[in-house]
Chains A and B, each alone.
Chain A
Amino acid sequence: MRLTCPYCGERDHQEFTYRGDASATRPAIESTAMDDHLAYVYDRKNPDGVHRELWNHTSGCRMHLVVTRNTVTHEVTGCEPVGPWAKKLKAASARRGAKR
């Protein structure tokens, strides 16, 4: 399987670390709600089909990416950056796309 890192380009999946379900969202730092924290740590969907999941390009730019992958066919239909620079990077790639 290969992933197209928005920063580094198409790379082998062995460069990346899988971090699981991208929908798991940490409760705000102010929150002390036990159920919310339990859900964040332990509850994971395991869908048969399209799944949005978090990967880290550990042996590359180290960016975190939300990868849209079909868990049955391993077809990858999306690979988007997350993090403080996500917006900038999306804008830059949109500009590059427009030039082409």
Chain B
Amino acid sequence: MSGFRLNSRDGVGTLLNTGRAVNFTFDGKPYQGFEGDTLASALIANGVSIVARSFKYHRPRGVFTAGSEEPSALVTLHNGPRTEPNIRATEVELYEGLVAKSQNNWPSVKFDLMAVNQLPGKAFSAGFYYKTFMGPARPGHKATQFWWMCEQFIRRAAGLGRGASLPDPDRYAKMNAFCDVLIAGGGPSGIAAALRAASAGAKVILCDERATMGGSLIGTSDVLNGERADIWVRERLAELAAMENVTLLPRTTVQSMFDDGTYLTVERVADHKVQPTPHEPRQRSWIIRAKSAVIATGAIERPIVFAGNDRPGVMLADSARRYASEFGVAPGRQVVVFCNNDSGWLAARDMARAGVIVTAIVDVRSDVADDIRAAGEETRAEIFTGAAVKSTQGWQTLTGVELCEFSEVTGQTGATLRKLGCDCLAVSGGWSPAFHLTSQQGGKPVWDAELQAFLPGEPVTTWHGAGAMAGKFGLRAAFRSGEEAAVLALADAGLGEGESDVPEIEGDTIDYAPAPVFEIRSDGKSFVDLQHDVTADDVRLAHREGFISVEHLKRYTTLGMATDQGKTSNVTGLSIMAEARGKPIPEVGTTRFRPPYSPTALGALAGERYGHLSSERRTPMHDWHVENGAGMYANGPWMRPESYNAPGETVEQAYIRETKAVRASVGLVDVSTLGKIDVQGPDAAEFLNRVYSNGFAKLPVGKARYGLMLREDGFLFDDGTTWRLDENRFLMTTTTAGAGRVMEHLEYHRDVVWPDLKVALTSVSDEWAGVAVAGPKSRAVLKACVEGCDVSNEGIPFMGVREAQINGIPVLIARLSFSGELAYEVYTGAHWGQALWEALMNAGKKFGIVPYGLEALSTLRIEKGHVAGPELNGRTTPYDLGLGGMVSTKKNFVGSVLLSRETFKAEDRLQLVAIKSIDGQRIRGGSHLVKGSKDNPGRSEGNTTSTCFSPELNTYMSLALLEGGSARHGEKMFAANPVRGAHVAVEVISPHIVDPDGGRMHG
């Protein structure tokens, strides 16, 4: 293919602004196009014919279509962190400075060494991977030895472009919108529907995936109300844009249709610029809730399958026509048109009118209507009817075609007629309505034998099809059906009918029904799915091997599985399978389309929930932590101090220093992130008694108790302390991560299970700030600052809760210990948080008080053997964690019955132990406990859960879950982490290392 730019004149290049040249590069080479070009049209205009390599065989590929259905011309845009692979060149609007690269080739797109893949012929046929690599697995692995040998080469050879591994610098936004009538598709039927719906006063949103709306009106030679169609449509769009009840969304694809008239659309806000302007999102996803919708998504032209039909230079006929009329680009110097329907002839005529030389029109039909034949004769092309393209010639790009006789009755080829030189072959095999959206909603497509196409079928939800999408081909039908669909949609929205305004149309009347010819059979690779390199023979092979249902065909051959989801290949693939099975196409069936309609950037779906706009929770003491050198660490949504590093200190050095300081004198830590729930009411005690596994009914006022919460199936759910503040009032604390789910759990039991219990539940996590003061000197620190309360062992006994003041700040003090040391938790209203923290720091100065972070907090509790999130992993019971003593036998509670199942008493269950490193090597998180050597580790008997360096043991240690672990203390094993090459000799020990008899906490 050697395309070139046509002379600009009326009706040629209707989308172009030839006054503005635009510079861009492709594979590092500079080129020039015009404003209004797509990357594809500009490349064709510059004579670039090979733009990509195919997925499997690395065959050269050119531009095949002019829209979002493009299977071949995939490129990578931008450099660095904005790199975006697998973008359809046909959709990329050209802008000054655009950088595009070809992909899936080495060393270059013109000379690709991987193209040897196509030489062995059958090597990569359907099911190749299953047949070659499935078999007995290599011992200890999930794949065959052969796969392990080949994998690295295959992974390098296969696939599409490569993405960036750097963070995306762009931002994305989300919008919610409501309307009466959503119109998907801004072609003639969509615009007719919009005008009609808008005239009735409906709130209308009209979306179109292209930058300029108008669809086929942009490039047609038809005349509307005496005006050229592209001018008429621009005027109508200006009218719509001026109406207050109408929102036009160009560059916006309706990607998904969901229940209840909910639609996901993605707007490419800034993809036509080098980068977004400051504060502008690159893309915006809209959730549109519409009372009704008009689906006017048009139809996708389909190819005819024949040998060598993937050669660069072969493209769809209507796309070739659009390049000429809309972009002023000749797709080749000598164009041959090959079709089985009337629209190919008109494409030939429109190209010829624009200045393209059409040398031949080949139609499989013998019988062509007179006016169509006349349109063909206008091109002065040689005309072949009852003939077909049998094969194509050319080394890399198209240089000619071989024509043969063809009978549309028998589907057989006859004698070779002629070899014709050409550099562009424009193919039309009929039209497939684009009913992807309605198929997503489960609408079952119906086969139309006349149109040789599936139509969307009857709506089951509130949408109405219009135009080619509904099988209403041609301009007159498009306008009529657009208005009819709008009237139905207006009725759904409870609005009047509006006014009809169908324009006077002077133009062609053609029959869109094609001859039922999908494939011209001959030797050589004939591609059905250009993107995944699936040939007609692959489909027949699938049939021979028994994969005859459409779903099996898809999975066995990967037909229709690539990024284009088979937009140009589905129906053709089905027809070949139907022929092989000797059944009509509708009996073979179709696969259901799934959202989204076209590839969508994940950023657009994530919107603001990513990067600097995602929510972040800070405790009241956050600023103090930052000012005092804490490395802040994202722990779920919470920012927490990891450790307070002194200059030159590593995190590990810092947390070891902090841990030692707590054990030796005193430290304080911010525990404001704990979940806190206020439980009140005459039945509050009874309610808690039912949701905790241990007794709460008799907890005295002024006391706290550590409680275990189970799920109804007997597994541990959460833990925490609950403080009885008054006869009918409790303050419950939960784990930081569990706060939300515990609240839901409690509300469910209060509302649904026991609505007769009088209990009020209020989340007060954000209302309280909390500080834990821990260490042998903690009492002395409190004594130095607490007013209104005796802090002696008698004044605040172990688990005692008291009200007091510190520096005039009202506080609640509870004597609780997570570290195993003498310790207190001091709570105050959130706004007092920082003042309380500073008061405690001041009071502790003379005792050498240190602030400690999450790492030290964790180390202290690991040494004590206290469980936390990693041990409460949803698969452990109280018995597994050595907490059997907290399971009441005197009452029933949530989980009590199912916890009594035999299986939970098995001796080989994973049980909590600690392990310590024997030779001082670091134990990696996520290690498995094994008996064997590094080379032959044997099976995993357990795994580490929480790992630290223990100053108490002066070595690395970890809590772990080990089969039958509670009876295995003293055993020697290995903590293996093969991914990181670690294999550490460890000894299994009791998880209670520090103060096993509790003397320090109770002292």
A20-51 vs B, CB cutoff 8 Å, 1 = contact: the mask equals 00000011011111100110110000000000
List the B side residues contacting A17 at CB < 8 Å.
744
Q: Which residues from chain B sit less than 8 Å from chain A, CB to CB?
A: 258-260, 262, 289, 460-461, 690, 712-713, 744, 747-748, 750-756, 758, 892, 896-898, 900-901
Specify which of A31, A32, A33, A63 is in contact with B751 (CB 8 Å cutoff). A63
Residues of B within 8 A of A41 (CB): 712-713, 898
Contacts of B461 in A (CB 8 A): 73
Contact status of A56 and B747, CB under 8 A, knowing A26-B753, A41-B712: yes
What total of chain A residues lie within 8 Å of the partner, measured CB to CB? 29
- Given A37-B897, A41-B898, A56-B748, is A1 in contact with B892 using a C-beta cutoff of 8 Å? no
Whether the Cβ atoms of A31 and B289 lie closer than 8 Å is: no
Cα separation A41 to B574 with both chains bound (whole Å) = 45
Q: Are A37 and B898 in contact (CB under 8 A)?
A: yes
Closest Cβ of chain A to B609, distance in Å, is 12
- Please state if A82 and B751 are interface contacts (CB–CB under 8 Å): yes
Q: In the complex, given contacts A29-B892, A33-B897, A83-B751, what are 12 additional A-B residue pairs having Cβ atoms less than 8 angstroms apart?
A: A1-B260, A2-B289, A12-B289, A17-B744, A27-B897, A32-B897, A37-B712, A56-B748, A64-B748, A64-B752, A74-B260, A83-B755
Given the complex, which residues of B lie within 8 Å of A32, measured CB to CB? 892, 896-897
- Given A34-B897, A54-B752, A1-B262 contact (CB < 8 Å): yes
A-B contact pairs, 25 of them (CB 8 A): A1-B258, A1-B259, A1-B260, A12-B289, A26-B753, A29-B690, A32-B892, A34-B897, A34-B900, A37-B712, A37-B898, A41-B713, A63-B751, A64-B747, A64-B748, A64-B751, A64-B752, A73-B460, A74-B259, A82-B751, A83-B752, A84-B750, A84-B751, A84-B755, A84-B758
Contact across chains for B897 and A31 when beta carbons are under 8 A apart:
yes
Are B750 and A83 within 8 A (Cβ)? Answer: yes
Q: When chains A and B are docked, how far (Å) is the Cα of A30 from the Cα of B374? A: 90
Verify A38–B898 contact, CB threshold 8 A.
Answer: yes
Main secondary structure of the interface of A (DSSP, over half): loop
Residues of B within 8 A of A27 (CB): 897
Q: Enumerate the 4 nearest inter-chain pairs by beta-carbon distance, A residue then B residue, closest first.
A: A83-B751, A74-B259, A37-B897, A64-B751
Most chain B CB atoms below 10 A, which of A19, A26, A29, A74: A29
B750 contacts across to A, CB distance below 8 A: 83-84
CA distance A74 to B262 in the complex (A): 12
Contacts A29-B690, A40-B712 given; indicate if A58 touches B751 (C-beta within 8 A): no
Please determine whether B260 and A2 come into contact, CB atoms closer than 8 angstroms: yes
Given known pairs A1-B259, A41-B713, A58-B744, the reply for A82 and B752 (CB within 8 Å) is yes
Residue of B nearest to A33 (CB): B897
Residues of B within 8 A of A54 (CB): 752
Q: Which residue of B lies closest to A2 (CB)?
A: B260
Distance (Å) between the CB of A34 and the closest chain B CB? 6
Q: How far is the CB of A81 from chain B (nearest CB, A)?
A: 9
Query: Bound state CA distance, A19 and B461, in angstroms?
Result: 26
- Chain A positions 67 through 90: 1 when the CB is less than 8 Å from some CB of chain B, otherwise 0: 000000110000000111010000
B924 to chain A, nearest CB (A): 36
Chain B residues, CB < 8 A from A86: 755
Alpha-carbon distance A94/B900, docked complex (angstroms) = 46
Contact of B892 with A62 in the complex, beta carbons under 8 Å: no
How far is the CB of B864 from the nearest CB of chain A, in Å? 33
- Neighbouring A residues of B262 by C-beta, 8 Å: 1
Report the Cα distance A33→B898, complex, angstroms. Answer: 10
Q: Which residues of A from 5 to 27 have beta carbons under 8 Å from B?
A: 12, 17, 19, 26-27
Complex: A83 Cα to B756 Cα, angstroms = 9
Residue of B with least CB distance to A54: B752
Which residue of B has the minimal Cβ distance to A74? B259
CB distance from A77 to the nearest CB of B (A): 13
Task: Specify the chain A residue showing the minimal Cβ separation from B896.
Answer: A32
Shortest distance from the beta carbon of B73 to any chain A beta carbon, whole Å: 37
Q: Which residues of A contact B690 (CB under 8 A)?
A: 29
Most buried by A among B259, B754, B756, B897: B897
